[in-house]
Amino acid sequence: MDSVYKEYESELPPQIIEEVKKHVEKNVSKPRLKKIMEEVYREYKQTIADPGESVGLVCAESIGEPGTQMTLNTFHFAGVSEMNVTTGLPRLIEILDGRKEISTKMTEIHLKKPWSGGKDITKIAKSIKETTFEEHINSIDIDMVELTMVIKLNEDTDIAPEQLVKILSKSVRAFTFKLDKENNIVVRPSSKDASLNSLYTLKEKIKTVWVSGIKGITQVLPVKKGDNFIIMTAGSNLKEIAKLEFVDLYNTTTNDIFELERTFGIEAARQGIINEIQKVIKTQGIEIDIRHIMLVSDTMCMSGSVLGINRYGIVKEKPSVLARASFETPIKQIIEASLIGESDYLNSVIENVMINQPVPVGTGIPTLIAKISKSKGDLK
Amino acid sequence: MEVQPHKKIAQLEFGIMSPRFIKDMASAKIVTPELYDKEGYPVDGGLMDVRLGVIDPGLKCKTCGQKLKECPGHFGFIELARPVVHIKFINVIMDLLRCTCRDCSRILIPKNKIDKFRIQIEEVGEISGLTARRKTIKEFISALKTVNKCPYCKAKQFKITLEKPTTVIEDEKRLSPIEIRTRLEKVTDSDIELFGIRPESVRPEWMILTILPIPPVTMRPSITLESGERSEDDLTHKLGDIVRINQRLFENINAGAPEIIIEDLWDLLQYHVTTFIDNNVAQLPPARHRGGQPLKTLTARIKSKEGRIRHNLVGKRTNFSARTVISPDPKLQINEVGVPLVIAMKLTVPERTTEWNMKYLKEFIERGPGKYPGSNYIIRPDGKRKKITDETKEQLLEEIQPGYIVERHLMDGDVTLFNRQPSLHRMSMMCHRVRVLPGLTLRLNPAVCAPYNADFDGDEMNLHVPQTEEARAEAEILMEVQTQLISPRYGLSIIGCNQDAISGNYILTQPWFKVPRSEAIDMLSAIGIEDFSKFTTKETVTGKEIFSYLLPTDFNFKGLSRLYKDAPEDPDSVVEIKNGKILHGIMDKNNLGEGSGLLLRTLHKKYGSTAMVDILGKMYRLGIETLFRHGFSVSLSDLDLPAESHKEVKDILLKAEQEVEDFIAKYNDGSLEAMPGRSREETLELRILERLNRARDDSGRIVTKKSKQNSHMMNMVRSGSRGNVINLAQMAACVGQQALRGGRISIGYRGRTLSCFNSNDLRAPARGFIRNGFKDGLKPHEAFFMAMTGRDSLMDTALRTPKSGYLYRRLANALQDLKVEYDYTVRDAGGRIVQFQYGEDSVDVSKSEAGKINIRKIVRSVE
Out of B426, B819, B855, name the one closest to residue A52 (CB).
B819
| CA-based nearest distance A160→chain B, Å | 24
Name, in order, each residue with C-beta under 8 angstroms of B216's C-beta and a sequence gap of 6 or more. B52, B53, B72, B73, B74, B75, B76
Cβ–Cβ contacts within 10 Å for residue B709, how many?
10
Cβ–Cβ contacts within 10 Å for residue A113, how many?
10
Which residues are bridge partners to B338 per DSSP? B435, B443
Residues of A in contact with B838 (CB under 8 A): 49, 53, 55, 291, 295
Write down how long chain B is: 863
Q: Are strands B769-770 and B819-820 parallel, antiparallel or unpaired?
A: unpaired
Which residues are bridge partners to B294 per DSSP? B288
Mean pLDDT of all residues in B72-101: 89
Which residue would you say has higher pLDDT here, B600 or A144?
Answer: B600
Out of B805, B812, B829, name the one closest to residue A57 (CB).
B812
The per-residue pLDDT for range A329-357, each reduced to its tens digit, is 888 889 888 888 888 998 889 999 998 88
Q: Are B436 and B410 in contact (CB under 8 A)?
A: yes
**H, E, C per residue of B618-634:** HHHHHHHHHHHHHCCCC
| Distance in angstroms (rounded) separating the CA atoms of residues B807 and B424 | 12
H or E element in which residue B770 lies: strand B769-770
Mean pLDDT of all residues in A62-75: 79
**Whole-number pLDDT of residue A171:** 77
Look up residue B595 and give its DSSP letter. B
Name, in order, each residue with C-beta under 8 angstroms of B257's C-beta and a sequence gap of 6 or more. none
Residue A136 within any structural domain of the chain: yes
Name, in order, each residue with C-beta under 8 angstroms of B701's C-beta and a sequence gap of 6 or more. none
Residue A92 within any structural domain of the chain: no
Answer whether residue A371 shows pLDDT above 80: no
- Distance between the two ends of chain B, CA-based, in angstroms? 61
| Distance in angstroms (rounded) separating the CA atoms of residues A79 and A229 | 14
Name, in order, each residue with C-beta under 8 angstroms of B325's C-beta and a sequence gap of 6 or more. B440, B441, B442, B458, B459, B460
The per-residue pLDDT for range A259-302, each reduced to its tens digit, is 999 999 999 999 999 999 998 898 888 889 999 999 999 999 99
Q: How many CA atoms lie within 13 A of A144 on its CB side?
A: 1
Residues of B in contact with A294 (CB under 8 A): 835, 839-840
Q: Three-state SS for B797?
A: helix
Residue A101 within any structural domain of the chain: no
Q: How many CA atoms lie within 13 A of A155 on its CB side?
A: 1
Q: Are B782 and B738 in contact (CB under 8 A)?
A: no
- Look at residues B105, B127, B115 and name the one whose alpha carbon lies nearest to residue B187: B105
Residue A329 within any structural domain of the chain: yes
- Partner A contacted by B560 (CB < 8 A): no
Torsion of CA A254, A257, A259, A262, to 10 degrees: 130
**Whole-number pLDDT of residue B290:** 84
Write down how long chain A is: 380
Residue of chain A whose alpha carbon sits nearest to that of B837: A49
Q: Are B509 and B582 in contact (CB under 8 A)?
A: yes
Which residue would you say has higher pLDDT here, B759 or B596?
Answer: B759
Q: Are B74 and B29 in contact (CB under 8 A)?
A: no
Residues of A in contact with B314 (CB under 8 A): 326, 350, 353-354
| Distance in angstroms (rounded) separating the CA atoms of residues B842 and B589 | 31
Q: Three-state SS for B88?
A: helix
**Whole-number pLDDT of residue B571:** 85
- Look at residues B754, B752, B450 and name the one whose alpha carbon lies nearest to residue B620: B450
The per-residue pLDDT for range B504-521, each reduced to its tens digit, is 999 999 999 999 999 999
| CA-based nearest distance B855→chain A, Å | 6
**Whole-number pLDDT of residue B807:** 93
Which residues are bridge partners to B387 per DSSP? B377
Q: Are B849 and B491 in contact (CB under 8 A)?
A: yes
Domain count, chain A: 3
Q: Is A356 left (phi over 0), alpha (psi -120 to 50) or beta?
A: left
Give the model's confidence band at A327: pLDDT under 50 very low, under 70 low, under 90 confident, else very high. confident
Residue A378 within any structural domain of the chain: no
What's the pTM?
Answer: 0.89
Q: Are strands A253-254 and A175-179 parallel, antiparallel or unpaired?
A: unpaired
Which residue would you say has higher pLDDT here, B275 or A181?
Answer: B275
The per-residue pLDDT for range B430-458, each reduced to its tens digit, is 999 999 999 999 999 999 999 999 999 99
**R_g (Cα) of chain B, nearest Å:** 38
pLDDT, chain B, mean: 88
The pLDDT > 70 percentage for chain A reads 93
> Are B424 and A64 within 8 A, CB to CB?
yes
Residues of A in contact with B492 (CB under 8 A): 287
Q: Are A288 and A296 in contact (CB under 8 A)?
A: no
**Whole-number pLDDT of residue B74:** 92
Look up residue B485 and give its DSSP letter. S
Residue A299 within any structural domain of the chain: no
Mean pLDDT of all residues in B713-722: 89
Residue A379 within any structural domain of the chain: no
| CATH label of the domain that carries residue A352 | 1.10.150.390
**Whole-number pLDDT of residue A270:** 95
Name, in order, each residue with C-beta under 8 angstroms of A92's C-beta and a sequence gap of 6 or more. A63, A67, A70, A277, A280, B807
Name, in order, each residue with C-beta under 8 angstroms of A277's C-beta and a sequence gap of 6 or more. A63, A92, A95, A96, A293, A296, A297
Given A188, A212, A236, the domain boundary residue is A212
Mean pLDDT of all residues in B291-317: 87
Given A165, A190, A212, the domain boundary residue is A212
**H, E, C per residue of chain A:** CHHHHHHHCCCCCHHHHHHHHHHCCCCCCHHHHHHHHHHHHHHHHHHECCCCCCHHHHHHHHHHHHHCCCCCCCEEECCCCCCEEECHHHHHHHHHHCCCCCCCCEEEEEECHHHHCCCCHHHHHHHHCCEEHHHHEEEEEEECCCCEEEEEECCCCCCCHHHHHHHHHHHCCCEEEEECCCCCEEEEECCCCCCHHHHHHHHHHHHCCEEECCCCCCEEEEEEECCEEEEEEECCCHHHHCCCCCECCCCCEECCHHHHHHHHCHHHHHHHHHHHHHHHHHHHCCCCCHHHHHHHHHHHHCCCCCCCCCCCCCHHHCCCHHHHHHHCCHHHHHHHHHHHCCEECCCCHHHHHHCCCCCCCHHHCCCCCCCCCCCCCCCC
Residue A67 within any structural domain of the chain: no
**Whole-number pLDDT of residue B3:** 52
Which residues are bridge partners to B576 per DSSP? B558, B584
- Partner B contacted by A267 (CB < 8 A): no
Torsion of CA B86, B91, B96, B98, to 10 degrees: 130
**Which residue blocks in B463-554 are alpha helix, DSSP H?**
469-474, 500-508, 517-526, 543-548
Given A157, A182, A212, the domain boundary residue is A212
Out of A36, A322, A334, name the one closest to residue B862 (CB).
A36
Name, in order, each residue with C-beta under 8 angstroms of B602's C-beta and a sequence gap of 6 or more. B555, B557, B559
**Whole-number pLDDT of residue A78:** 44
Question: Residue B635 — φ and ψ, nearest 5°?
Answer: -140, 170
Least confidently predicted of A61-75, A108-122, A154-168, B305-319 = A154-168
Tell me the CA distances in angstroms from B805 to A239, B285, B531, B798, one per residue in order.
37, 34, 50, 12
Mean pLDDT of all residues in B532-544: 88
**Which residue blocks in B767-839 are alpha helix, DSSP H?**
780-815
Mean pLDDT of all residues in B326-337: 94
Answer whether residue B357 shows pLDDT above 70: yes
Mean pLDDT of all residues in B813-823: 92
Answer whether residue A379 shows pLDDT above 60: no
**Whole-number pLDDT of residue A315:** 86
- From start to end of B72-166, where are the E strands? 76-85, 160-163
- Partner B contacted by A147 (CB < 8 A): no
H or E element in which residue B272 lies: helix B259-277
The per-residue pLDDT for range A45-64, each reduced to its tens digit, is 989 999 999 999 999 999 99
| Distance in angstroms (rounded) separating the CA atoms of residues B235 and B219 | 9
Out of A221, A296, A345, name the one closest to residue B677 (CB).
A221
Produce one character per residue of B629-647: b if its CB has 16 or more CB atoms within 10 Å, e if not. bbebeeeeebbbbeeebbe
Residues of A in contact with B450 (CB under 8 A): none
Q: Three-state SS for B69?
A: coil
- Partner A contacted by B473 (CB < 8 A): no
| CA-based nearest distance A355→chain B, Å | 7
Size of interface A-B (CB pairs under 8 A): 336
H or E element in which residue B601 lies: helix B598-630
Which residue would you say has higher pLDDT here, A229 or B743?
Answer: A229
Out of A56, A294, A341, name the one closest to residue B815 (CB).
A56
- Look at residues A194, A56, A215 and name the one whose alpha carbon lies nearest to residue B426: A56
Out of B88, B804, B821, name the one closest to residue A51 (CB).
B821
| Distance in angstroms (rounded) separating the CA atoms of residues B717 and B861 | 35
Question: Residue A283 — φ and ψ, nearest 5°?
Answer: -65, -25
The per-residue pLDDT for range B636-680, each reduced to its tens digit, is 888 888 888 888 888 999 999 999 999 889 888 888 877 665 677
Produce one character per residue of B361-395: b if its CB has 16 or more CB atoms within 10 Å, e if not. bbebbebbbeeebbbbbbbbeeeeeeebeeeebee
Which residues are bridge partners to A343 per DSSP? B13
**Whole-number pLDDT of residue B164:** 79
Tell me the CA distances in angstroms from B88 to A337, B76, B494, one per residue in order.
13, 21, 51
Q: Are A1 and A30 in contact (CB under 8 A)?
A: yes
Least confidently predicted of B106-115, B482-491, B832-841 = B106-115
**Whole-number pLDDT of residue A80:** 43
Domain limits at A12? 2-47
| Distance in angstroms (rounded) separating the CA atoms of residues B554 and B552 | 6
Residue of chain B whose alpha carbon sits nearest to that of A95: B807
Residue of chain A whose alpha carbon sits nearest to that of B17: A338
Answer whether residue B394 shows pLDDT above 80: yes
Which residue would you say has higher pLDDT here, A203 or B527?
Answer: B527
A-proximal residues of B, 727-766, CB under 8 Å:
741-742
Answer whether residue A380 shows pLDDT above 50: no
